[in-house]
Amino acid sequence: MLKADSDTECTKILALVIFNLCGIVIAQFDNYYNWPDTSPPVVKTETHAAGKETRIRCHIKERFRHIQNGLNLTWEHKSCRAGYAGACMENGEWRPLCGTPGQPCPPILTLVEPQTSDSGLYRCHITLDTSVITPNIYMLQFVEKRREPPTIVDGMNNNLTVVAQMVAVLQCKVHSLVPPTVRWFRRLDPPPLSTSSPTHNFIQYLNNTYKLLNCCPVAALSQRDLYLSKLVISASSLYDSGFYICLAINDVNYTYKEAYINVLPILRVSSDKADSGSFLGLFLIPAALAMIPAVAWVMCLRPRKLAALESPVQPRQTHTCRQSVPTHTELAPIHRIPLLPTCSNTPAINPSFRPN
């Protein structure tokens, strides 16, 4: 009985703890989504080119995204010089750019072709119930960009030589303060009889005729104000030899550069020469293989001959030996006679000798 009562008490305490935790979580959730952010915004300074479209964003925090359609968002502007953002914040009046209670501003403000007079402070206001929040303040400075014609910098060869069927590439690197327009032309030598063609664009310039090539897009490089365009001929032929023009244009002026592509023919060997060469090769291969053992034999025999010529010649000795046989005047009984030394060329004497 006591054990059952203790289990019931533990269950009640655990349920009470879980209930309190849920209440705390709900309260924090409600505060997270409805309590205004009173932290002061940081002024962000940016410099843009005058006349170029500029966009700034009101960074609505994650807790307001679920109700951002019901937010009253307003963009305001105050004229101010660069470096005086602190003084401008305290003095002067803010001018609303958009936003009404029924039609709020979008979170992204787009300034189309701003001028230097549009420089100053920009801020966004969010009204939520009775709270007013300022997420972002921008200090924008619009400066007039220099107006200069484009220039073609390094990266384009004056002459390019390739063999037929190879890839020919010409690179045109352009420096321009604004995005340029790049076109490629080919000079026609001799010029065509008629330049009125519905499928080709021809241009007459300084007594020369040029054909517009429909190719070669322009890509912005990582370096500032640099752009690159490539003319690529995938499988070049002798017909592709000639002068090519890279023309760069911007709103101030234009510039161009000329390069020559020389395509060389592929060298081919005639069939007669190829057959004679193959026949000669078939004859020389076994001859060369036969020479290898002959050369090895000569190399081994030559040291032996040299050693024989260098060794002194020993004179040949000849020996003459005469066998002396004893003579007896009288008959004597047979007895053994010891052997006398003989020469190699003298026959041996019979040890049993009977004199007559």
| pLDDT attached to residue 344 | 47
Per-residue pLDDT of 241-288, as tens digits, reads 999 999 999 988 999 999 999 999 988 755 555 555 555 666 677 777
195-228 pLDDT per residue, tens: 666 556 888 888 888 999 988 899 988 877 899 9
Exposed e or buried b for every residue in 180-197, given b needs 16+ CB within 10 A? bbbbbbbbbeeeeeeeee
Helix (H) or strand (E) segment spanning residue 159: strand 159-163
4: pLDDT confidence band, cut at 50, 70 and 90? low
Q: How many CB atoms lie within 10 A of CB 28?
A: 11
Euclidean distance between CA atoms 226 and 218, whole angstroms? 10
Please list the residues that pair with 319 across neighbouring strands: none
Confidence label for 302 from pLDDT (cuts 50, 70 and 90): low
Confidence of residue 328 (pLDDT cuts 50, 70, 90): very low
Residue 297 is predicted with a pLDDT of 74
How big is the chain, counted in residues?
Answer: 356
Sequence ranges of the chain with CATH classification 2.60.40.10: 43-143, 151-264
Q: What is the DSSP letter of 289?
A: H
Burial class (CB in 10 A: 0-12, 13-18, 19+), 202: middle
pLDDT, position 356: 47
The burial of 72, by beta-carbon neighbours within 10 Å (0-12 exposed, 13-18 middle, 19 or more buried), is given as middle
Q: What's the Cα-to-Cα distance from 30 to each of 22, 24, 34, 178, rounded to whole Å?
A: 12, 10, 6, 50
pLDDT of residue 25: 55
Grade residue 20 by pLDDT with cuts at 50, 70 and 90: low
243: closest CA among 159, 356, 171, 121?
159
Matching CATH number, 43-143, of 3.60.15.10, 3.40.50.620, 2.20.28.10, 2.60.40.10: 2.60.40.10
Question: Which residues, including other chains, have CB under 8 Å from residue 149's CB and lie 6 or more apart?
Answer: 250, 252, 253, 254, 255
Does 24 or 18 have the greater pLDDT score?
18
CATH 3.40.50.2000 assigned to 151-264: no
Average pLDDT over the chain reads 75
**Structure token pair of residue 164:** 């037929």
User: Which of 180-189, 254-263, 290-299, 343-352 shows the lowest per-residue confidence on average (mean pLDDT)?
Assistant: 343-352
Per residue in 228-248, pLDDT (tens digit) is 999 999 999 999 999 999 999
The most confident of the ranges 57-71, 78-92, 118-132, 238-252 is 238-252
Between the two ends of the chain, the Cα-to-Cα distance in Å is: 164
Task: Evaluate if pTM is beyond 0.85.
Answer: no
On the question of pLDDT at 27 being above 70, the answer is no
Dmax over CA atoms of the chain, in Å, equals 180
CA-CA distance, 23 to 244, in Å (whole number)?
78
The pLDDT-based confidence of 43 (bands split at 50, 70, 90) is confident
